[in-house]
Structure 1
Amino acid sequence: MDQRQQDELTDLSLLGNQETTYNFDYTPEVLETFDNKHPNRDYFVKFNCPEFTTLCPKTNQPDFGTIYVSYIPDQKMVESKSFKLYLFSFRNHGDFHEDSINIIMNDLIELMEPRYIEVWGKFTPRGGISIDPFCNYGKPNTKYEEMATHRMLNHDLYPEKVDNR
């Protein structure tokens, strides 16, 4: 392992830490990045997070869902343990599903400046209705902006099988 690789691992304070603190309130500061080792190539990184919990801002009742994040990295990538702790920090956060999904995407854009990203929440029904917000972003003035527009315009053309409820 060369010095650059050792320095990169040193910058990650959560990975391998046995004394992890779990914050129950929204904490975007916990997010960490590492360098993309293949910035010359487009590829997707996907996170499937089936244990997301947040609170309804009106009733304070818990809402449960699965969060799907897919992104094409540029120079930086999000470290998965920090992302897990970040999602955990929504546990006592009161926001509507649609806002929570957009907050997650905005925080990841600010953190990594990805080429493309989409965030999709699939929430379990409450009151007989499930809510599945989807948002995406493509870097402005690039093919990724066009990709985001195309993906949004074609998002629900082929409804998926929902098997997480």
Structure 2
Amino acid sequence: MQEINQLAKYTTTNSALNSLTHLGKTTHYTFEYNPRLLESVPNPHPQNDYFIKFNCPEFTSLCPITGQPDFATIYISYIPNKKIVESKSLKLYLFSFRNHGGFHEDCVNTIAKDLIICLSPRYLEVWGKFTPRGGLSIDPYVNYGANNTPFQEMAKQRLWQHDMYPEIITNR
């Protein structure tokens, strides 16, 4: 019960929540890529190493050559440091790729770089599972571990072994 009271106190008194521009406000969708949509709040448990995972099964972008839409499920997993991403801002940010012309690999790397800039996480990975077009699907994966930490080695290991045991693909 004490933990619940502490969390309630945290969420209602933290001045960082007052600076959020999306949460609790009327939603205005941006149809052009915009990394400034990402917002963060303080990590309520910075002393703990824990994963936060987001699954975005409705990600869309455009082929930069043909202008045809590309569809994907984007998986974002990270171990926060001092900040966590505010989920509505993440939704709006991912939606901003709707008219973005970028190859699959570019989209996944851009998402990772923008989240690293916004959050400075201990560890982060982004995996795009794109639906096939022309009989070929592309599933780019990128990860990051903070320099000079055990997470830097973790990133190497997970990159080298990321697809050794592929999960069942359900978005195709």
TM superposition score normalised by structure 2: 0.92
Residues 1:34 and 2:34 aligned together: no
Q: How far does residue 111 in structure 1 lie from its aligned partner after superposition?
A: 0.3
**What is the root-mean-square deviation in Å for CA atoms of aligned residues?**
1.3
Q: How many residues align?
A: 164
Counterpart of 1:52 in structure 2 is 59
Who is 2:21 aligned against?
Answer: 13
C-alpha contact (below 8 Å) 2:11/2:17 kept by paired residues = no
Q: 2:29: which partner in 1?
A: 22
Which amino acid letter does the alignment assign opposite residue 69 of structure 1?
I
Unaligned stretches of 5+ residues in structure 1: none
The separation in 2 between residues aligned to 1:149 and 1:3, in whole angstroms, is 35
Deviations 1:41-85 (CA, angstroms, capped at 9, x unpaired): 100000000000000000000000000000000001110000000
Unaligned runs of 5+ in 2: 1-8
Which among 106, 110, 114 is matched to residue 107 of structure 1? Answer: 114
Matched residues, percent identical? 61
What displacement does 1:5 show? 2.5
Whole-angstrom distance in 2 between the partners of 1:3 and 1:130: 42
Distance, in Å, in 2 between the alignment partners of 1:125 and 1:2 is: 44
- Residue 4 of structure 2 is matched in structure 1 by none
| Map of 2:127 onto structure 1 | 120
SS in 2 for 1:26: coil
